[in-house]
Structure formats: C-alpha cells, structure tokens
Amino acid sequence: MGRMTNARIGVLMGGRSSERDISLKTGQAVYQALIRRGYDAVAIDVTNRLHRDLEDHKVAIAFLSLHGPGGEDGTVQGFLETLGIPYTGSGVRASAVGMHKAATKTLLAAHGIPLPAGTVVRACDRPSLAKVLRQAKLKLPIVVKPVSQGSTIGVTVVRRAGQWGEALDLAHRYDPEVMVESYIPGHEAAVSILGTATEGPKVLPAIEIVAPDGFYDFSAKYQKGKTRYLCPAPLPPKVVHHIGELARRTYEALGCEGAARVDFRITPRGRPYVLEINTVPGMTETSLLPMAAAQAGIVYDDLVEQILQSALDRASRFAQVVPKE
C-alpha cells in the first residue's frame, strides 16, 4: 500500500503542559514511523511561535502528539481550524469536554454510563473534609485530582482525614477546580478505541494495569518495570465485553474521532466505572494504545497511519465547507 497523502505532515509535540516530556517521546515515535513509511514529515516542538513554524515548514496536515492542557483540550484544535489545517484525533468540542473531567462526567451521566460518585471543589472554597463527604455522600478512601490534568499528575488517594489539606493543595496547584471522587477498589483497566469516518469505532483489546501498590500514579506509569500490563486483560469475558461497550459509548457520547483511550476501575465483583477519557493517548514504547493495537494485530506504523486517516477525513470535510475562490 502506498502513502495515503503526499502533503507535508507536521508532528506537533512538546508544548508547555506538565506532560511535555511524555509528549516529546510520543511525537518522536510518531515522527519516526511516518518517516519509515515514506511520508514528508517534520517534527515541531510547540511554542508561541507555532503559527510561524507551521508557515515556515509549509505544514498541510497536523499530527497531534500533544498531551494535557494546551494540546488535548481543544485549544490547539481550534487554532488549527482557524488556519484550515486538518489535524488528527478529536475535534474542538470532544477535546474540550474530554479534558475537563467534570464536564465529561456530566455528559456521560446523561448517557447512563456508570461513574464514581463525586463532586468538584473550587480553590476559593476550601471546605472541610467532613462537609465534602456529607454533601457528596462519600466516605473514605477518596481520590482527589485536578479537573483538567492527565497522567495522574496532582492525584492523591486520601485514606485518612489528615491527608485532606495536603491533597487539596497539591491538586489545586494544577487547577482551580478539583475533583473529589469515591475510591473504587479492585482492578484498573484501559480500553482503546480507533475510529475512522468510513468505519465505526473499533474496540481494541482491554488491558489490565497492575500497579505495585494498587494505584496507577505517574511513576507507576512511566518508570519501566514498576507496573505490569496484562493484554488481553485476564478479566471475565462478560466484564471485558461490558467495558468494551462502555468505552465505545463514551467515545460516541463525546463525539470523538481517531484514537482515544477510556480508563476504568472495576470492583472485585466485576462492576466497571468510567474514570476518564484520553483523546490524545500516549504513543511511546510503553504506552497502552500501541500495546492494545499490537494485540489486535496492528503494528505500530499501521496504527500511526490509521490515526493519520482521521486528519484526512477532516481534510475532506474542510474541503466541502471552504468556498471556491
């Protein structure tokens, strides 16, 4: 099969979020794959010169490898829309909602998707733990996390009252809004979805994540050997089917495109809860999306091309709405 496009592809990576280092690794891996497949690709570290860099490099298509705020939250997507540059993955609305955990929960709740009970605490409020537990009908342990961060940055599992103040301070360092949720004991799992305009969303094999202390935090994610990834997930077939369906419904409810990953907690009795969705999943060597794709028989470079297809789908939509000069 030949190249899908001869247009110049700019791989956008880095940026200014707290996930910059992971984004650079994702971007480099994607860039190398495109080069291996013979595409005209250029790697761009996103700064406030992005507009000039896109012009200077004559970028016609953007492959988004940006994680976290500024790259996964609809802002760069909207910027590229105004320039008429088609890009990979989800559009402005799905990206913005997907990045904001509280907005995601509100939307998914309306679609009847199971979610952990919880509430949002704003930085200006500083309520006592007792008040939050009472009002949100929660009991310890709870999870405290920034509303708009990825990679479990700023997250604490609060198991005793003395941890509350510190957990709140840490999360508020990253976001004025903080999500407080019930901690779901049991298994952690992730389901990746791959979609194109011509085919509906394809559910990839589920992965069970076995973190050393039962909590999948930043160091468990990115330090090799700390965490075990079991793919396909050794969960009961009924549970695997159920989380696959919930992941697909989550993807469709938000209106996602391209690749996305939905993260779950599953109780010991097999009841799943959706934690969040990632609309620009990591593409590093240890990332979950390439691992799930490989299990489904999709090699890394093919996966990159399938994600590229989402930009080409968008390009054809752009062409339909641009008036002829």
Active site residues: 19, 151, 222, 261, 263, 276, 278, 282
Give me 135's structure tokens: 């009002």
Close Cβ partners of 228 (under 8 Å, ≥ 6 residues apart): 209, 210
Hey, how many other C-beta atoms are within 10 angstroms of the C-beta on 46? 25
Q: Would you say 15 and 70 are in contact if contact means Cβ atoms under 8 Å apart?
A: yes
Chain position carrying tokens 């930085």: 123
